A and B are shown apart, each in its own frame.
Chain A
Amino acid sequence: MNNLNKTLLVISALLVLIFTGCEEQVLDKTPRDVFSEVDVWSNIDLAKKFRNAIYPGLGYWAVGNYITTYAMYSDEAKVGEDLRVYYFNRGEITSDYMGRFEPIWRLRYQYIRKANIFLSRIDELEGASEEEINIMKGEVKCIRARLYFDLIKLFGGVPLITEAFELDDDFMVTRNSYEEIVEWIVKELDEAKEMVPAEWPSSDWGRVTKGACLATKSDVLLHANSKLHDPDTEPNGPLFDYTKNTWQDCADAAKAVIDMPQYQLQPVSTWQDYHKIFIEPNSEMIFTKVYHNNYGVASRAITGPNAPIKDGGWGELCPLQNLVDEFEMNNGKRIYEEGSGYDPSPEKIYENRDLRFYANILYQGSVWKTPLEFYHPGGIEVSTPPWTIPGYELRKFMDETTNLWQETGDTPWIWLRLAAMYLNYAEAQYELGNEDEAREYVNIIRNRVGLPDIESSGEELFQDIQHERRIELCFENHRFFDVRRWMIAGETDNEDAIGIVWKKLDANGNLDPNGELNYEFQIFQERTFHDRMYYLPIPVSEINKSDLEQNPDY
């Protein structure tokens, strides 16, 4: 009994120990893997990280969050195989079948919310200098403005949300007018440009600068003043109309960038020089998304999915004959013009073209490490699934030195480039009636690549400006929007997608690996553009949850 009592004593003592004060200790836990609100808004290093996370909201070179680019939805290119793109190309996009466009609405607003939270809380930060805070504010304001610019380009007027929603808020809002948002964006950019530096230390290259704010402003006004937003064109109404004339502001913003000492057009004497503009950081780049081989996966840098198949690329972006034929001869004449010197024979079809052709497009016989084979039978670029490569692949942005077997590529993606500011300026000046000024700035771009001046005027000049944009800015996600704002998509996007089919044929016209090279043009996609496609539909899931008005004819 004595022993037992001792045992009991020990056990009782243990029990008391367990019970005493345990409850609080066991239950009062805090999450270890996350930071609290207080942590973040009292520590500038954490707040900076919050700002960092807003940058990826700008997206990357592709539409939405996958590897198709806007070029594939325009007359520049087609996709290797993704039928969701083809569905769009045939004019069959609906609010419930938006393909790769589907996530954009949600993604942009996600990052707008982050920006709103940041801007509403950053002033709480103590111990940080006002300048430091202002710079961050400016960065975030510019990004938020660009996110809205993305939305209004695609959808017209959208809900303008500048404060973060809380759980108990009333969520129902209506779409703001297009003009209202344009004005807000411009105001935001004007503020931002006063907050951010003109230049960052080299380790921060890729952040928002004064130039980025101004260039974005120029782009926004270029769009707003274009025909699409003219109240006289369909669709019209507050969601789509811009009633002001701010071409001057557009021109001023572009000119301000052009005049900034940080930015210079790169000198070009060979196509290789021109190609390099898109490969390595240089003073022509205004705002970029920086890539590096050590971070991210292969499919997200532009090179991997689009490089030639033989070297491990996927050949997704396939330039069309429609675009190839637009490249002038190096004498400045269009191929079909008299005296152009264009020779359509298989051996010479690609001779003596604008050097930008060689810098931007891979074609039969061009060299990417080794000569590319686009011919049947057996040419590796076309005998490999997806088989639907229309005889061309992309060279622009592609870094040939990337070892695609091991690297993801570190070509920066250029959001804003100085050459585009020249063309914005030219277009604005044309619209303002200053044709000389317009021609001058187009010719700067042309002369750089060895092309002669244009001397046109009036409507013809406008077409030359359009042409120059098409060539200089090809594949840079401009064309899709340009044909819309100029309202020429009804022509350009109704054109069928043409490709070139190379064949080695024997004397009897049969395929023969040892035969002679020959080509024919072939329709790779029949395309249709409906007027409703000037804007995207708002995803039906969003319409179902909200009071938002759908875009016309969806």
Chain B
Amino acid sequence: MKNWWLYHGHLPWVNENLRKMKLTVIFLCISAVTSLASVGYAQSTRLTVVMKNAKVINILNEIENQSEFKFFFSNDVDVERTATIEKKNADVFEILDVLFKGTNIKYEVYDRQIALLEKSDSYDFRDFAEFQNQPAQQRAISGRVTDTSGQPLPGVTIVIKGTTQGTITDIDGKYSLINVPPDATLVFSFVGMQTREVAISNQNSIDIIMEEETIGLDEVVAIGYGVKEKGQLTGSVANVGGEKLTQIRTSDLTKSLQGVMPGLIINDRGGMPGSEDVEILIRGTHTLGDNSPLFVIDGVPRSGFGQLSPDDIEDISVLKDASAAIYGARAANGVIIVRTKRGKSGELRLNLNSDYGVNTLTRLPELMDSWQWAVYQNEVEEGYGRVPRYSEEDIQKYKSGSHPLTHPNTDFYAATFREFAPQTHHNLSASGGAENIKYFISGDYLGKESQYSSRDGKYNQYQLRSNIDAQVHKYLNIGMDLNLRLQDEKMPSEPISNIIHRVWFNYPIEHAFYPNGLPYYTREGGGNPVVTNSFDIGWNEAIDKIIQTKLSFDLNLDWVTEGLGIIGYAAYDYDIMNNTTHMKPVTLYRYNQNTQEYDPMMNTVPSDGNVSLSKRNNVSRNDLYHVRVTYDHTFGDHNISAFAAYEQSESEYEYIYAYRKNLFSASKVELFAGEEDGRIVNGSSSVGGRVNYFGYLSYDYMRKYMIDFTIRHDGSFNFPKNKRFGTFPAVTAGWNISKEPFMSGITGLIDNLKLRISYGEMGNDRIPGYQYLTKYGLLAMSNWYNVFITGLDPVYNAGMDITNVPNSNITWEISKTMNYGFDADFWKGKLSLSFDYFNEKRRGILIQRNESVPDYTALELPDENLGKVDNSGVEIVASHNNSFGDILYNIGGNFTFNRSKIIFMDEPKDIPDYRQKEGHPVNSIVAYNADGIFNDWEEVNSYPHLSGAQPGDIKYIDMNDDGKIDDADLVRHYTSTTPEIQFGLTAGIQYKGIGLNALFQGQANATAPLMFNDSGTKPEYLFTGRWTEENKDASHPRPFAGFDGYQRLSTYHFNNASYIRLKNLELSYDLCSAGLISDNLFKQFRIYLRGRNLWTLDYLKYFDPEVPFNASETTRGNRAKYYPQTITYSVGVNITM
């Protein structure tokens, strides 16, 4: 017991709590003192202390270090005072005399103990001796334990620290303990609550408020229509809290989930500000159709997940297995549930989170320089037996840059994008509550500029959220949620794919701008990307106004029977989108060598030469009514939770489109201010509806054996009357082995071990509507192929077309999913481990028989419930938290693997083995097998080859040995840009307010094909690595021009898309934790530096490894025609008051 204050190196002193105690009491504790002794040690011990302007406490420390002396003192002693000591080889008395000279402090020495006291105090060490052999004063302590809301907590364990002596609180939360040593510390612990330690001091009564634990098994997470303690989960549910998401703030929430949770396959495919392209799959690919998950935001299926502010989010749960089955016909691809923050009782809490950042492209492709391109092009001509286009002189001029007007060198990629584009995000929220009302109100702004060199293009997003809960009556709580969002995306009217197309389509020997600054007119209409990336050619502005409201009630019917209640809500969502496109031609120039003048030419790309304006207004409305009767009760060791629910939803969509051209004035961009001739007006609408009945029963015995049943009966407007309803049952079960008596022996090693198993049937109804009807649609005039004009004075004749062949048997896909898993926690939660294995059978997949129905039938094929796909995989999560003194750290990792297997799908008859889909994963790429490059004519002639192949061309393998290379030799490669494996690694460390958090994310088993077979320029590596007579054994083929018939998608074009990248790195400093700012005013004052995509290890050199692949472009070449991924650097502050 003495140790705690005799501990070497620590000066023990009487703290605030002990101040009132007589020093004698403390001395009683020194059991080591066994006899009175003289001051002999003090006199014989020689010390050397030379310290100038040092704190008294440091001087005392120094004395302790040099000797066996231990000091005791009360708070009356000012140890922070500075003093100067210069004593060599002196005894302790000499030093202390100097040290306390002129103060009211005296010292008394008892053997190796020295007491410092006020001079007015007297102290007799002999008193001490009398006490020492007596037992310590023991006492009885009692009190009451409540939770934060004041409710008594029964069953709380209280033990005296270091002993096995303890008790449990009764039904009223009360406890009492006798024979408590006066220096004892009481440890209060309760499942789901933070353990508290309280020194009893001289108190006889200790009341404790216990707070809920924020991490761990007892954390409550969102599940379908409710919440559940993590420890009680029986399904496979991944969860992330809002706090984590605010550390990974990105401009699209979907991106923030990348690498954070197991079971998700997420790829950032770039995308414009405001329309980011993020692919998200739960457990990979399950179906040949739509694999996208269902998003449920605050209990309502809603879109706009990516636009939610991370600062508004309480938590996100991903339901991966049968736990999603409560969502019935829409659940099969998994469900992502979002809970937004709500107010909690207590003081007003203000939170500000602001960051400022810049974006820069992750990769900039290296394109051929103009001289390289000229050399390359000459070799192309040579290959076609034509004369070279560029003389040696030209090439020299391109190389030297001596004639910038006639021989420029332009990197259109670099010229089209700028290096840095700003981005900013602010969120301000207020939350809190009184007894009867709680609120969470937030405002959010996100602004992101485009990466275009024109600096044109911006996305602004404003968001307001108000979640109010009012206890209007003892038994009735009413909630009113409101979310307003304005998304304003204004971009150049030319789509990014066309701009990038032009980046590649133009040649480096062309200009972006002439040396005098005039923009250059490129071929085929002048679509110069450095001009079309600006508002000069017009713009497109999409203003999306989203209003989401929800009115809810929670009626407690305990007075009818305990545990009974009714919950209901009505949600009305409106989405009003105004899309305005203004196009205008712009004048570009062509230098005429003869006249030496710059001839003005009109850009007809993208506009048709008219100053035009089109507006499209979309309004969609979704409403949803939900009511459920709930029952939660505990009968002894049996816990039951159940509900029965009804839900219905209806949706309505409508649009109006208007167009006029030849606007009268540039200053009036309005519909009325354009010509009537050629105007267009259009519009349409659609409706949908769903009706759902569902129920849930959860039972557990002593929290040890858990079983949950769900069933859902869903009706959808999308299917014929007799096929409209489907029933989707599920059962999930868990066994908490660690609660078994036989496991008690290893408590401390394994604190929690739970086995889980689940089975569920779910549906996927994501298909175009009304396929059971024969539909006739009016043809759009914008589709040029359909336009039918007649008359000497021409008039447009509307056309009508049959759009489908009906399938009267159509219904949803069915998924049957098994999941096996376990969760384990070791060493008091220092290590957590979770494992899941799943096996899904998707049946009745909606596919079109495109592969077996000949084109001459020209059937507009409907979806048919024919496909069969199996999908299985594993997910592993491990995390470790620990602390060393003030250093807290955590590391964690998650791993997701899944592989699908097609059991049946529509395939052409007599398909060769090497192109078969059945028996293989869903995602695949059809390409030739390449076997290097032909090195000479002999090789060409001795191998099967494409007609006209030459040395330097890619050697394709003749798979069917028919002596020729054609379509029949195409091989299906069971890989794609969608990876089979994704993983995330997190590491964080905190020390006194300084925090460093890193998130690494990566993938494997993915392929990114890249092919450059369109006219225009090419990457530099195709020049430097090209095959020539002089450079045989080259890595790249001989020079080829656009639409080269010898460039066919092959394994040569494949790139391994595996990577690991530092997705997120945050360095933060909390001025409060560091003690620099008073925590009376600020609860948190965090400043942070953050980076995204900072570092990447991968196989692709010039393109981002997350580059998308568009299979429809395999003949023209996939040249990554998308808005590229970015690195984001940001700095921000997060203040909580």
Determine if A380 is an interface residue (Cβ-Cβ < 8 Å): yes
A36 near B790: Cβ-Cβ < 8 Å: no
Determine if B770 is an interface residue (Cβ-Cβ < 8 Å): yes
Q: Which residues of chain A come closer than 8 Å to B522, judged between CB atoms?
A: 385
B387 near A34: Cβ-Cβ < 8 Å: no
A87 near B1043: Cβ-Cβ < 8 Å: yes
Determine if A340 is an interface residue (Cβ-Cβ < 8 Å): no
Give the Cβ gap from A376 to chain B, nearest Cβ, in Å.
Answer: 10
**Interface hits, A4-20 → B, CB 8 Å:** 4, 7-8, 11, 15, 18-19
Query: How far is B862's CA from A63's CA once the two chains are assembled, in angstroms?
Result: 29
Q: Of the candidates B510, B594, B857, which one forms a contact with A378 in the assembled complex, judged by CB atoms under 8 Å apart? A: B594
Q: Of the candidates B473, B566, B788, B807, which one forms a contact with A167 in the assembled complex, judged by CB atoms under 8 Å apart? A: B807
Query: How far is B610's CA from A240's CA once the two chains are assembled, in angstroms?
Result: 50
A523 near B604: Cβ-Cβ < 8 Å: no
The closest CB in chain B to the CB of A34 belongs to B775
Q: A35-B776, A56-B787 are in contact. Are A312 and B604 (CB under 8 A)?
A: yes
User: Interface segment, A253-261, A444-452, A541-549?
Assistant: A541-549
Q: Which residues of chain A come closer than 8 Å to B648, judged between CB atoms?
A: 18, 22-23, 26
Query: How far is B777's CA from A46's CA once the two chains are assembled, in angstroms?
Result: 10
**Interface hits, A118-144 → B, CB 8 Å:** none
B776 near A40: Cβ-Cβ < 8 Å: yes
Per-residue interface assignment for chain B, residues 157 to 175, with 1 indicating a CB less than 8 Å from any chain A CB and 0 otherwise: 0000000000000000000
Interface residues on B, range: 35 or more
Query: How far is B772's CA from A30's CA once the two chains are assembled, in angstroms?
Result: 11
Q: Of the candidates B691, B799, B1041, which one forms a contact with A22 in the assembled complex, judged by CB atoms under 8 Å apart? A: B691
Query: How far is B911's CA from A27's CA once the two chains are assembled, in angstroms?
Result: 42
Give the Cβ gap from B474 to chain A, nearest Cβ, in Å.
Answer: 8
Query: How far is B786's CA from A299's CA once the two chains are assembled, in angstroms?
Result: 14
Q: Which residues of chain A come closer than 8 Å to B910, judged between CB atoms?
A: 544
**Interface hits, A500-554 → B, CB 8 Å:** 513, 522-524, 526, 539-542, 544-546, 548
Query: How far is B521's CA from A310's CA once the two chains are assembled, in angstroms?
Result: 10
Q: Of the candidates B507, B685, B787, B854, which one forms a contact with A545 in the assembled complex, judged by CB atoms under 8 Å apart? A: B854
A11 near B555: Cβ-Cβ < 8 Å: yes
| 12 more A-B residue pairs beyond the given contacts A81-B1015, A167-B859, A293-B678, with a C-beta to C-beta distance below 8 A | A11-B568, A23-B691, A23-B715, A109-B856, A161-B857, A166-B805, A309-B523, A312-B526, A385-B522, A410-B794, A542-B855, A544-B909
Q: Of the candidates B601, B792, B854, B947, which one forms a contact with A205 in the assembled complex, judged by CB atoms under 8 Å apart? A: B792
Determine if A202 is an interface residue (Cβ-Cβ < 8 Å): yes
Determine if A53 is an interface residue (Cβ-Cβ < 8 Å): yes
Query: How far is B394's CA from A377's CA once the two chains are assembled, in angstroms?
Result: 13
Q: Which residues of chain A come closer than 8 Å to B857, judged between CB atoms?
A: 109, 113, 161, 165, 169, 171
Query: How far is B473's CA from A7's CA once the two chains are assembled, in angstroms?
Result: 10
A4 near B475: Cβ-Cβ < 8 Å: yes
Query: How far is B649's CA from A101's CA once the two chains are assembled, in angstroms?
Result: 48
Determine if B853 is an interface residue (Cβ-Cβ < 8 Å): yes
A32 near B687: Cβ-Cβ < 8 Å: yes
Determine if A50 is an interface residue (Cβ-Cβ < 8 Å): yes
Q: Which residues of chain A come closer than 8 Å to B601, judged between CB atoms?
A: 310, 312
Determine if B4 is an interface residue (Cβ-Cβ < 8 Å): no
Determine if A106 is an interface residue (Cβ-Cβ < 8 Å): yes
Query: How far is B314's CA from A39's CA once the two chains are assembled, in angstroms?
Result: 51
Give the Cβ gap from A101 to chain B, nearest Cβ, in Å.
Answer: 13
Q: Which residues of chain B come closer than 8 Å to A4, judged between CB atoms?
A: 473-476
A291 near B789: Cβ-Cβ < 8 Å: yes
Query: How far is B774's CA from A203's CA once the two chains are assembled, in angstroms?
Result: 32
Give the Cβ gap from B819 to chain A, nearest Cβ, in Å.
Answer: 32
Give the Cβ gap from A84 to chain B, nearest Cβ, in Å.
Answer: 5
**Interface hits, B463-516 → A, CB 8 Å:** 473-476, 507, 510
Q: Which residues of chain A come closer than 8 Å to B627, judged between CB atoms?
A: 15, 18
B947 near A92: Cβ-Cβ < 8 Å: yes
B793 near A202: Cβ-Cβ < 8 Å: yes
Q: Which residues of chain A come closer than 8 Å to B474, judged between CB atoms?
A: 4
Q: Of the candidates A3, A27, A96, which one forms a contact with B966 in the assembled complex, judged by CB atoms under 8 Å apart? A: A96
**Interface hits, A49-97 → B, CB 8 Å:** 49-50, 52-53, 55-56, 65, 81-84, 86-87, 90-92, 94-97
Q: Which residues of chain A come closer than 8 Å to B526, judged between CB atoms?
A: 312
Q: Which residues of chain A come closer than 8 Å to B794, judged between CB atoms?
A: 290-292, 294-295, 410
Give the Cβ gap from A166 to chain B, nearest Cβ, in Å.
Answer: 7
Query: How far is B807's CA from A27's CA once the two chains are assembled, in angstroms?
Result: 18
Q: Which residues of chain B come closer than 8 Å to A312, judged between CB atoms?
A: 525-526, 601-602, 604, 609
**Interface hits, A281-311 → B, CB 8 Å:** 281, 290-300, 304, 309-310
Interface residues on A, range: 35 or more
Interface residues of A (CB under 8 A from B): 3-4, 7-8, 11, 15, 18-19, 22-23, 25-37, 39-40, 46, 49-50, 52-53, 55-56, 65, 81-84, 86-87, 90-92, 94-97, 105-106, 109-110, 112-114, 117, 158-159, 161, 165-167, 169, 171, 173, 200, 202-207, 281, 290-300, 304, 309-310, 312, 314, 373, 377-380, 383-387, 403-408, 410, 513, 522-524, 526, 539-542, 544-546, 548
The closest CB in chain A to the CB of B715 belongs to A27
Q: A4-B475, A26-B689, A383-B593 are in contact. Are A52 and B788 (CB under 8 A)?
A: yes
Query: How far is B882's CA from A10's CA once the two chains are assembled, in angstroms?
Result: 54
B856 near A53: Cβ-Cβ < 8 Å: no
Query: How far is B858's CA from A173's CA once the two chains are assembled, in angstroms?
Result: 13
Give the Cβ gap from B382 to chain A, nearest Cβ, in Å.
Answer: 13
A314 near B525: Cβ-Cβ < 8 Å: yes
Query: How far is B967's CA from A248's CA once the two chains are assembled, in angstroms?
Result: 44
Query: How far is B389's CA from A243's CA once the two chains are assembled, in angstroms?
Result: 52
Q: A50-B800, A52-B798, A96-B966 are in contact. Are A26 and B650 (CB under 8 A)?
A: yes
B777 near A403: Cβ-Cβ < 8 Å: no
Interface residues of B (CB under 8 A from A): 384-387, 389, 473-476, 507, 510, 522-526, 553, 555, 566, 568, 585, 590, 592-594, 599, 601-602, 604, 608-610, 625, 627, 646, 648-650, 677-678, 684-691, 715-717, 721, 724, 769-770, 773-779, 781, 784-803, 805-807, 851-859, 861-862, 908-911, 946-948, 966-968, 1015, 1041-1045
Give the Cβ gap from B289 to chain A, nearest Cβ, in Å.
Answer: 18
Query: How far is B684's CA from A118's CA once the two chains are assembled, in angstroms?
Result: 25
Query: How far is B858's CA from A22's CA once the two chains are assembled, in angstroms?
Result: 40
Q: Which residues of chain A come closer than 8 Å to B784, judged between CB atoms?
A: 296-297, 299-300
Query: How far is B696's CA from A182's CA once the two chains are assembled, in angstroms?
Result: 69
Q: Which residues of chain A come closer than 8 Å to B691, judged between CB atoms?
A: 22-23, 26-27
Q: Which residues of chain B come closer than 8 Å to A161, judged between CB atoms?
A: 856-857
Q: A300-B784, A378-B592 are in contact. Are A84 and B1043 (CB under 8 A)?
A: yes
Q: Which residues of chain A come closer than 8 Å to B609, judged between CB atoms?
A: 298, 312, 403-407
Query: How far is B566's CA from A4's CA once the two chains are assembled, in angstroms?
Result: 13
A513 near B802: Cβ-Cβ < 8 Å: no
Q: Which residues of chain A come closer than 8 Å to B1042, judged between CB atoms?
A: 81, 83
A31 near B1043: Cβ-Cβ < 8 Å: no
Q: Of the candidates A105, A298, A310, A513, which one forms a contact with B594 in the assembled complex, judged by CB atoms under 8 Å apart? A: A513
Query: How far is B966's CA from A36's CA once the two chains are assembled, in angstroms?
Result: 44
**Can you give 22 A-B contacts (C-beta < 8 A)?**
A26-B691, A26-B715, A28-B717, A31-B769, A33-B685, A35-B776, A40-B776, A49-B799, A52-B797, A112-B858, A113-B859, A158-B856, A165-B859, A167-B806, A203-B791, A203-B792, A203-B793, A290-B789, A290-B790, A513-B594, A541-B967, A545-B851
Q: Which residues of chain B come closer than 8 Å to A386, judged between CB atoms?
A: 523, 1015
A114 near B853: Cβ-Cβ < 8 Å: no
Query: How far is B585's CA from A407's CA once the two chains are assembled, in angstroms?
Result: 12
Q: A81-B1042, A295-B796, A540-B968 are in contact. Are A26 and B717 (CB under 8 A)?
A: yes
Q: Which residues of chain B come closer than 8 Å to A19, judged between CB atoms?
A: 646
Give the Cβ gap from B497 to chain A, nearest Cβ, in Å.
Answer: 17
A173 near B856: Cβ-Cβ < 8 Å: yes
Q: Which residues of chain A come closer than 8 Å to B649, judged between CB atoms?
A: 26
Q: Of the candidates A40, A291, A304, A377, which one forms a contact with B593 in the assembled complex, judged by CB atoms under 8 Å apart? A: A377
A95 near B555: Cβ-Cβ < 8 Å: no
The closest CB in chain A to the CB of B1015 belongs to A81
Q: A29-B688, A36-B776 are in contact. Are A53 and B770 (CB under 8 A)?
A: no
